[in-house]
Structure 1
Amino acid sequence: MPRHTGLNAALLILATLWLSACSRHGIYETAIGLERSSAGLQVNTVQVDDLQIAYLANKEQADGDTIVMVHGFGATKDNWTRLARELTDDFNVYAIDLPGHGDSSKPMDLGYSLAQQTDHLARILDALALTEYHMMGNSMGGAITALYAAKYPNRVKSVVLFNPAGIMDYESELVGLVMAGDNPLIPSKPGDLERLIDFALEEKPFMPWPVLGVLEEKKIANREINEVIFEAIRDIGFLTEFRNRVQNIEAPTLVVWGKEDRIINYRNGEVFASLIANARLEVMDEIGHAPMIEAPDRSADLFRQLAHPPE
């Protein structure tokens, strides 16, 4: 059954559940499950030392390369399902819940600097026995992806950085808010998730209110660990070292940036691309902080061109 037909069926089932007055949590779990299924993905876990790591991977193996997807701050593996839907027929996708996020373990004292999270990711990929892959990351996950690609050049075939963190030559609207003590990236009360979505995304996907409500509850419950992680990745002293490290990336690299990004100014993309020898920049008009959510078809096309350039 074509993926779009499966998605239409999923929406019909969701509407039926909604009308039959199922619990909000039941609707949420069904909706998330259908979204994953329509993308050809299923949930798995792997034990990494004392950490249980959740991830999404193909239900059926594809006859193609592997792609590792790394989400951003406060996000989860499910941020990749819309893009994965465009790719799982031809590629084997692994979308990871980083420690402290999603359904993975959330120890408060693990260490969540960008460098430490890069090391955590390396241990996760080793535990999954992955040896060679394309990589893509968004925001904080983009910075982690860049550091990983620089540290393990023999493992990474290509790199896509969606609105990556790590370089802040040009300030954004977020900087002023955080300096004033108002961080829209960390929901703490009802209404904050809707504010976050409006702030982060220019092209917002449809999300039924029961799903939005349960997701907000989960975000608020994770407030404490998110505050720990946010402080860890704000290490201003690491920024110069970050620049030096990403210059070691050898793989073909595409930096994709939504021009309407309020979280990280899109003009930082020019700096990123200039630091990486084999990189180019693609700026998307009318797109915000998460092109893989807002423009999954265009994002997939750009990745395919990078992974398999015409001869």
Structure 2
Amino acid sequence: MLQKHPFTIALLLVSILLISACSRHSIYETAINYERSRAGLETASVTVDELNIAYLRNSEANKGDTIVLVHGFGANKDNWTRMARELTDDFNVYAIDLPGHGESSKPLDLGYRLEEQVEHLAGILSALDIDEMHMMGNSMGGGITALYAATYPEQIKTAVLFDPAGILEYESELVDRVLAGDNPLIPSEPGDFKRLMDFAMEKKPFVPWPILGVMEEQAIANLEVNKVIFAAIQEAGFKSGFRNAITAIEDPVLVIWGKEDRILDYRNGEVFRNAIPGSRLEVLEGVGHAPMIEVPERSVRLFLEFANPYISKAG
């Protein structure tokens, strides 16, 4: 997504492309590559168990620690570019497109329960030779990050959970809508993607209309796999297995939650804090479901303050 402040650059870029009669898809590709470049990231891919996995990594590696970023349901690696821009000077950042998402393979029969996605991610990181990292996840990715820390504690230096899925002790507006047969997280027709953004975020980034249109097309094209993944992960919030699993986490954990989150009620943050020994909770006023997009600089500051004792001095 486009940065909040370089509006004039982004608008100029879009205007030039429109005048040049470029297609909406060309505009999208140019804009998204511009954002990746500004964040110091480049695209790459790896094959894992016959799956093509797309990801973003530093354009220039450094001697800092590794940070792995895990997106949420229906999202992708580019959800992290605003935050990564604040990190790539000092850390080696990897933003992964999980199977079923973004530009990665999308088999319908892969298995998308949270614990299954932990194993998919472990295979990806092994293929990338990453065996020690700070891991951050949002929503579904937050639940995956928590389970990853519980399963592979020796690999995690710190974990940051942004509005994590996995516990639904306090139900949200989303639950009411899903039970009524209306899931705003799964776009199926024109207009649904804007509705999704309005529902998910309190502080929405500026996205020019040609780019928004392509993002909507991509979301609608993923309708079937999104239904499969949502059905697989929603079970976790109503079962005790997830909560029991995360009580075993020994790594340092920071939970960050937007108080205006309509998808997952921020009060579940206290449940996470009580379940994970020694964890810390930060609730952000005026922020929705995606703090790393809505307030990237503040999100980075919270991470750095929390993780400072665990960051390698060489970084």
Aligned equivalent of 1:226:
226
Q: 1:237 to 1:302 in 2, by over 3 A?
A: closer
- Alpha carbons 2:255, 2:282 under 8 Å: kept: yes
> What is the aligned-residue identity percentage?
65
Aligned equivalent of 1:214:
214
- Alpha carbons 2:67, 2:133 under 8 Å: kept: yes
Distance 2:209 2:49 in 1: 38
- Alpha carbons 2:255, 2:269 under 8 Å: kept: yes
Distance 2:99 2:134 in 1: 21
Aligned equivalent of 2:77:
77
Aligned equivalent of 2:175:
175
- CA deviation after TM superposition for structure 1 residue 62, in Å: 2.1
**TM-score normalized by structure 2?**
0.94
Q: What do you get for the CA RMSD once the two structures are aligned?
A: 1.9
Distance 2:82 2:300 in 1: 10
Aligned equivalent of 2:313:
none
1:120 counterpart = 2:150: no
SS at match of 2:231: helix
1:237-277, Cα deviation, whole Å (9 max, x unpaired): 87211011111111111100000000000000000011111
1:111 counterpart = 2:111: yes
SS at match of 1:287: coil
Q: 1:8 to 1:65 in 2, by over 3 A?
A: farther
- Alpha carbons 1:7, 1:35 under 8 Å: kept: no
SS at match of 1:257: strand
Aligned equivalent of 1:31:
31
SS at match of 2:153: coil
Q: How does 1:82-231 map to 2 (within 5 A)?
A: 82-231=82-231
- CA deviation after TM superposition for structure 1 residue 10, in Å: 5.3
SS at match of 1:308: helix
Q: 1:254 to 1:105 in 2, by over 3 A?
A: same
- CA deviation after TM superposition for structure 1 residue 278, in Å: 2.1
1:239 counterpart = 2:208: no
Aligned equivalent of 1:51:
51
Distance 2:98 2:206 in 1: 25
**TM-score normalized by structure 1?**
0.95
1:70 aligned partner, one-letter code: V
Residues paired across the two proteins, number? 309
Distance 1:207 1:10 in 2: 9
1:208 aligned partner, one-letter code: P
Aligned equivalent of 1:20:
20
